[in-house]
Amino acid sequence: MSGLVLLEIIFTIFQSIILFVIISKAVRLIVEGKNVFLPFFFMLAMTSYLLSNLYWIAYDFLKPDTRMPIACNEIGEGAMILLLSAGLESLLKDKKKVPGEIAFAFLFIGANIASWIAWSGEWLQDILFGIPYVYFFWILIRGIRSRGVLARKELWFAAVMSGSVLVLQIPLLFLEGEPLKFVTMVCLAVMFALMVWFGVKSFRSKDFFVTSMFFLWTELAMFLSPEPYYSLAFGANIIVLPMMFMSMKRELAHDLC
Amino acid sequence: MIYAENVLICIAVPLVITLLFTKDGARRMSSSFLAGMIVCIVSAYISGFVQAVSGFSAEDTSIFLSPMIEECMKLLSMLFCVYVFNPSDDEIQLCAVGVGAGFATFENCCFILSSGAPLFTYVMVRGAAVGVMHIVTLVALAKGMLLLKAYKAFSLAGIAGVLSLSVTVHGLYNLLVSKPGVSSYIGYVMPMLCAIVLYMINGKTGRYREN
């Protein structure tokens, strides 16, 4: 087992502990609260994420240095995304299907899927497990726009920044040497700058949709980053989990569902 | 080598006869139990077919493919029940428990017939771990469906999410018990822990639905 895998396992164990605490708190919310739908689906989503982590750790210990033929942990992550989407959907007051939003969700996640395929070569798996992300992303855009949590300028800023990360991924496929290093650094700088921006916005607004968008961005950044930047995105992914729980709890307090 | 169809007929005939003399909940429970056994044998056929087509080893099929096939089949039986019979919330839960119990019982019967039952610990593990796991995944599935229905949010995303969660639980269990040692002990305990957590949540969501 390599040092990098060991580091990932340590991160995953730490994240699992955080998830366990969040799940326990969500169970308490279900037992004590009047509205059980959102905490129940949040709890199920976090349980899926925890199980996905446990699957990954168990696989690394039981079958070290072998690639999974079918990644069951990806099913767990897909479950988490779908269950979060179901929970968030219940908060959506305006479910209007704006073609522009749907197209952007399809194009953006589609481009992400293409880059995953370019890296792994697993066509079927990446397309299949990418579809929930399209739905999740659309729900988040709809929620943020209909609630007016972010200003129009801010939405454009996020769209341009996230789009440029994907555009910068294209030359990475054929560049070599110094240009490759330069473009990689620019791409990572844009990606992490947007992550920090989402982090600040989530902290300020404490809105469940914005926090979930921050979470989604940390996930996508993890998939697009090489080590050691992967660990950095992983760290941000761990930090966003308690933030998501707090914003979900805030939704219950406001009794918006 | 066992003849699973013969075993199914042997167990199913008395249950079919009970349907003639029971009604309401008891009849629904027996029917669901029978459906669970049929779902189990169909899942085994599909797993065998996929194994042959994909070229996976028997171990890889059991770890990676069977959880997906079995959970999808169980979900299909639940969806059939929901859409065809339009049951009440309690009937959905009854159906889930019945299908899960039928599935687990038939699977256990086949395993015990093929491997024998000389070791009490082995039999206990099969009953308390695998048996409970099939019920737990289905009850979680039913709980999710009931809540989606209660909030008029019966969406594909919700159903697919709960199904994927069941697949992950099942897949993790199969992975953990695939190797002897500490991991297998964790795997054996996992379904019972999930059952306890679900039981705790069941009371609360049950009270919510009554209100």
Residue A96 CB burial class (10 angstroms; 0-12, 13-18, ≥19): exposed
Q: Residue A94 carries which side chain, given as an amino acid letter?
A: D
Instruction: Calculate the CA A5 to chain-centre distance.
Output: 21
pTM of model > 0.90: no
- Tokens 């961005």 sit on residue: A217
Which residues form the domain of B127? 4-206
Does the structure show a pLDDT above 70 at B40? yes
Mean pLDDT for A85-99 is: 82
Separation CA A49–CA A111 (nearest Å): 24
Mean pLDDT for A86-90 is: 85
What's A126-183 look like in SS3? HHHHHHHHHHHHHHHHHHHHHHCCCCHHHHHHHHHHHHHHHHHHHHHCCCCHHHHHHH
Which among A34, A61, A79 has CB closest to B164? A79
Residue A6 CB burial class (10 angstroms; 0-12, 13-18, ≥19): exposed
Write the DSSP symbol of residue B146: H
| Phi and psi torsions of B3, nearest 5° | -100, 90
List Cβ neighbours of A12 (8 Å cut-off, separation of 6 or more).
Answer: A53, A56, A57
Which among A36, A69, A83 has CB closest to B165? A83
Nearest-CA neighbor of B191 among B164, B163, B172? Answer: B172
Mean pLDDT for A106-133 is: 83
Per-residue confidence (pLDDT) for residue A257, from 0 to 100: 46
Cβ distance B41 to B4 under 8 Å?
A: yes
Mean pLDDT for A29-37 is: 76
pLDDT greater at residue A53 or residue B203: A53
Mean pLDDT for B117-141 is: 83
Contacts of B162 in chain A (CB under 8 A): 44, 79, 83
Q: What's the mean per-residue pLDDT of chain A?
A: 84
Mean pLDDT for B158-181 is: 85
Among A139-143, A234-238, B126-130, the least confident range = B126-130
Does the structure show a pLDDT above 50 at A33? yes
Mean pLDDT for B140-160 is: 77
Does the structure show a pLDDT above 60 at B210? no
Is B26 inside any structural domain? yes
Cβ distance A17 to A46 under 8 Å?
A: no
Does the structure show a pLDDT above 80 at A75? yes
Share of chain A above pLDDT 90, in %: 11
Residue ranges per structural domain of chain A: 3-254
Among A214-218, B11-15, B84-88, B200-204, the least confident range = B200-204
Mean pLDDT for A125-132 is: 85
With the C-alpha atoms ordered B181, B186, B187, B189, is the resulting torsion angle positive or negative? Answer: positive
Separation CA B159–CA A35 (nearest Å): 20
Contacts of A40 in chain B (CB under 8 A): 143, 147, 201, 205
Give the mutation candidate from A23, A24, A27, A40 for the B interface (greatest B CB count, under 10 A).
A40
- Please tell me which residue of chain B has the smallest CA distance to A37: B147
Per-residue confidence (pLDDT) for residue B203, from 0 to 100: 67
Per-residue confidence (pLDDT) for residue B207, from 0 to 100: 56
Mean pLDDT for A140-153 is: 86
Is B211 inside any structural domain? no
Half-sphere exposure of A10 (CA within 13 A, CB side): 9
Among B12-21, B23-32, B109-118, the least confident range = B109-118
- Tokens 């056994």 sit on residue: B37
Per-residue confidence (pLDDT) for residue A255, from 0 to 100: 59
Mean pLDDT for A46-58 is: 87
Does the structure show a pLDDT above 80 at A256? no
Among A89-93, B49-53, B153-157, the least confident range = B153-157
Instruction: Calculate the CA B193 to chain-centre distance.
Output: 16
Mean pLDDT for A23-52 is: 84
Residue A186 CB burial class (10 angstroms; 0-12, 13-18, ≥19): middle
Confidence of residue A34 (pLDDT cuts 50, 70, 90): low
pLDDT tens profile B104-116 = 999 888 888 887 7
Among A15-24, A125-134, B75-84, B141-150, the least confident range = B141-150
Per-residue confidence (pLDDT) for residue A18, from 0 to 100: 92
Confidence of residue B181 (pLDDT cuts 50, 70, 90): confident
Among A71-85, A235-249, B25-39, the least confident range = A71-85
The DSSP H or E segment spanning B139 is helix B132-150
Cβ distance A145 to A105 under 8 Å?
A: no
Mean pLDDT for A97-120 is: 84
Does the structure show a pLDDT above 90 at B4? no
Listing DSSP states for chain A in one string gives: --HHHHHHHHHHHHHHHHHHHHHHHHHHHHHH-S--HHHHHHHHHHHHHHHHHHHHHHHHHHSTT---SS-HHHHHHHHHHHHHHHHHHTT-S-----HHHHHHHHHHHHHHHHHHHHHH--HHHHHHHHHHHHHHHHHHHHHHHHHT-S-HHHHHHHHHHHHHHHHHHHHHTT--HHHHHHHHHHHHHHHHHHHHHHHHHHHHH--HHHHHHHHHHHHHHHHHPPTTHHHHHHHHHHHHHHHHHHHHHHHHHHT--
Total count of domains within chain B: 1
Cβ distance B7 to B113 under 8 Å?
A: yes
Alpha carbon separation from B209 to B26, B121, B206 (Å, rounded): 22, 40, 5
Which among B165, B172, B176 has CB closest to A44? B165
Among A55-64, A188-197, B150-159, the least confident range = B150-159
Does the structure show a pLDDT above 80 at A169? no
Write the DSSP symbol of residue B118: -
pLDDT tens profile A4-14 = 777 778 888 88
Alpha carbon separation from A53 to A19, B55, B177, B178 (Å, rounded): 10, 28, 17, 18
Per-residue confidence (pLDDT) for residue A17, from 0 to 100: 92
Separation CA A127–CA A109 (nearest Å): 10
Give A 62-91 residues with CB within 8 A of chain B. Answer: 62, 68-70, 72-73, 75-76, 78-83, 85-86, 89-90
B62 touches chain A (CB under 8 A): no
Separation CA B127–CA B108 (nearest Å): 7
Per-residue confidence (pLDDT) for residue B208, from 0 to 100: 53
Per-residue confidence (pLDDT) for residue B1, from 0 to 100: 63
Nearest-CA neighbor of A42 among A24, A26, A21, A54? Answer: A26
